[in-house]
């Protein structure tokens, strides 16, 4: 079995597999699971590199939306 530790789909699949294995063993079945290593990018540099440039003023949190931004996202309702 190859498992990506940070992938939510891998996690869900693994937990489902664990439950199925537990049911199988409870019924007297025998199963062996072997985890295989997998290197996604074997040629990647060991020094690392940024995936994307950090957004400006990141430490300040999210920038507040302008009135125009808020107006474009606010649904309009018709009066009854």
Note whether 57 and 63 are within 8 A (CB): yes
This prediction's pTM: 0.46
Whether 61 shows a pLDDT value over 80: the answer reads: no
Separation of alpha carbons 16 and 18, rounded Å: 5
Q: Which is more confidently placed, 40 or 79?
A: 40
Note whether 31 and 25 are within 8 A (CB): yes
- Mean pLDDT estimate for the chain: 74
């Amino acid at each position: 079995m190859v498992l990506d530790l940070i992938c939510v789909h891998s996690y869900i699949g693994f937990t489902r597999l664990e439950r199925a294995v537990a049911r199988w063993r409870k019924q007297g079945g025998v199963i062996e699971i072997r985890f295989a290593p997998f290197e996604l990018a074997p040629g990647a540099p060991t020094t690392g590199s940024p995936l994307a440039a950090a957004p400006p003023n990141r430490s300040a949190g999210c920038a507040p939306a302008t009135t125009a931004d808020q107006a474009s996202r606010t649904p309009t309702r018709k009066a009854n």
